[in-house]
Amino acid sequence: MTTSRLNNKYRRQTDWKNNNGVVGGLNQSRLRYKTIVGILAIAATAYFICLVNVVVRVHQLDSVDNKFDNKFLGNSNNDNRADVGVEKENPEHNEHKLDGTAEVKIAHHDAYDAQIIETKKRLKEMETKLKIQRDKPKIKRPNFISNPHGHGVQAEILVQGNEKQNPYSGHQHNNIPEDQILTAYVELSDRSTWNSKPLPVRDVKADDLIRISFPKLNSCSRLPEQLPVDNYPDADPFLPWIHDVFPTNDGKWIQFVAQNKRRCHTGSSVDEEAILDHTAPQSSLFQHIPIVKLDNSTAETPRYRLCSHEEADLESVSTRFICRFKPSGDITFSTFNIDYEWSALRKRQIVMFHEHGRDNGFTIHTSQLIFKCPVPDHLIEKVRNGSSVVDDWATIFVDLIPIRTPPRYGPPDEFLSPYYSASTKKKPRSSFDPHKEWGGNHILPKIEDSGRWENFPVCKPSLMTYEPKALEKPKHHLVSCLWASTGYTTRGNRYAINDGQRRLLEWITFNKMLGFDHFYIYDNSGAFTNQSSLQPIADIFSDDVTLINWPSRVCNNNPNNVDR
């Protein structure tokens, strides 16, 4: 009895589950159907509402047009607005309205046609002007001569300066002593020894050097425009490409501003590849070198040896140039304003330089080489107060002797300066072993036997030279520095731009409104023309503008690779 009841109960439960499954499937199908129908109904309703809105909007626009026509007709017939209300009772007026509406439409069409004719006329005039402009020959300078500067660019003169005043005139010493003339002693490098380990000692003598003098540099007030930027001795790429030299305001440093000559040549031609290979030493100038003074060194003949950081003297543990002051003969060692290797590491660069030289894409900070030489203690006050300059010419000079070693193409942290290596926790991927690379007895040649720059004049600090008034009045609150010219040619010498005076006038006026109270302008006009300058514009704002002539060409003026 019990077994039969259990079997019947099991059958009923099985039948209910089967039936419920069928019913559930039907209910789900009906639910999906109702959902689809609901969505379609909502979409149809939205469409209908949009359609109604469009019809209503069109009707409103027609009403506005009718009101406008009524008002226009009323004004044209000198009728009052009250006359509009009589329209239904005055069929003659309605008839007149229809005629007036037609007249308005005709007037509108006539005005539209006249506007089209006027527009076409103006377009025709513009096309004629553009055609005349296109037919004009473009000003180019395929064979630019650095001296005289800038033939070919006829700059637009907005403000005429004094014809008797040469924009680049100033006090000059036509005859200066031979031992004060800026001179480059060119040393031809033997690149075949770079792969030798350790690096062979340079066997060069003074008679092997090529002497190049630059007597054009003969005035402290005109130093930036007289430096041989355009006449750099390319034969010796270990010599820094100096663009400016000046003492700091405290008289403790002589600041040098140079450019990476290797970044001026990025083409893929055979000649460009050869130039990139030749200028590889420019890369090494950004990397420090430790040296130690030899025990048998004398004041008259100082001698130094390449060494490790641990062996180096404290003042020369991270240097690149030996600085010799004259006529005292004091020796100091250069230091970088910024550590380029540490900067490359912080920028997460895998290497600081590539041997192929195409580093322009990610090492923009290595385009400008900035370093300084410490001034000997007994000369600091004399340099600071400017008393070392007499009659616009220096009495103190400094020589730059580069320490010549091959560039390091490894990771930037392979040979960090001790100051920065102590703060790095991560172990470098590779290390530079100075004893393996240079040996334990790599003695540098005597200074007189080394390629070098001689006789950079130590002039007054910049404010004393270019803006002496700033020493007597409060400092400026907001200043701007600008490099500009009256005219210039675009990359590849495609076009000549000649409205520099007008643009500078607008720029200064606008920035004075913004709150700038002084402007330092480097006038690059002399790189393109010797007939005009930005001086007349600077004279308009004589109390607010300090103008410095800087007529040298820069890398950006070179033709690009496409136009070769």
Residue 235 has pLDDT above 80, yes or no: yes
Distance between CA atoms of residues 247 and 453, nearest Å: 17
* pLDDT recorded at residue 272: 81
Residues in the chain: 564
Report the chain's mean pLDDT, rounded to a whole number: 80
Distance between CA atoms of residues 380 and 487, nearest Å: 41
Residue 229 has pLDDT above 90, yes or no: yes
Model confidence at 19, in pLDDT bands (50, 70, 90)? very low
Burial level of 504, CB count in 10 A (0-12/13-18/19+)?
buried
* pLDDT recorded at residue 27: 57
- Tell me whether strands 479-484 and 518-523 are parallel, antiparallel or unpaired: parallel
Model confidence at 529, in pLDDT bands (50, 70, 90)? confident
Q: Helices marked H in 77-203 — which ranges?
A: 91-135
CA dihedral for 503, 509, 511, 516, sign (positive or negative) = positive
* pLDDT recorded at residue 243: 94
Distance between CA atoms of residues 183 and 200, nearest Å: 27
- Report, as an integer, the average pLDDT of 35-39: 82
Residue 505: strand, helix, or coil: helix
Model confidence at 89, in pLDDT bands (50, 70, 90)? very low
What letter does residue 369 receive in the DSSP assignment?
Answer: E
Ranking 32-41, 146-155, 323-332, 506-515 by mean pLDDT, the lowest is: 146-155
* pLDDT recorded at residue 497: 77
Residue 150 has pLDDT above 80, yes or no: no
Of 396, 395, 340, whose CA–CA distance to 366 is shortest? 340
CA atoms within 13 A on the CB side of 183: 17
DSSP string, 443-474: BPPPGGGS-EEEEEE----HHHHH-GGGGTSP
- Report, as an integer, the average pLDDT of 89-108: 52
- Cβ 282 vs Cβ 262: under 8 Å: yes
Indicate the angle between helix axes 91-135 and 2-76, nearest 10 degrees: 90
Whether the ω angle into residue 137 lies within 30 degrees of 0, i.e. cis, is no
* pLDDT recorded at residue 470: 74
Distance between CA atoms of residues 491 and 497, nearest Å: 11
Tens digit of each residue's pLDDT (9 = 90 or more) over 156-181:
666 666 444 444 444 566 688 999 99
Q: If residue 283 lies in a helix (H) or strand (E), which one and from where to where?
A: helix 281-284
More confident residue, 531 or 315: 315
Residue that the structure tokens 């979409």 belong to: 43
Distance between CA atoms of residues 502 and 542, nearest Å: 17
Instruction: Quote the radius of gyration of the chain (alpha carbons, Å).
Output: 41
Look at the pTM and tell me if it is higher than 0.75: no
Model confidence at 130, in pLDDT bands (50, 70, 90)? low
- Report, as an integer, the average pLDDT of 200-212: 95
* pLDDT recorded at residue 142: 46
- Report, as an integer, the average pLDDT of 229-245: 94
CB atoms within 10 A of CB 455: 20
Residue 46: strand, helix, or coil: helix
∠ Cα 450 455 460 (to 5°): 145
Within 343-498, strands assigned E span: 368-374, 389-390, 393-394, 397-402, 452-457, 479-484, 488-489, 496-497
Residue that the structure tokens 């010493």 belong to: 173
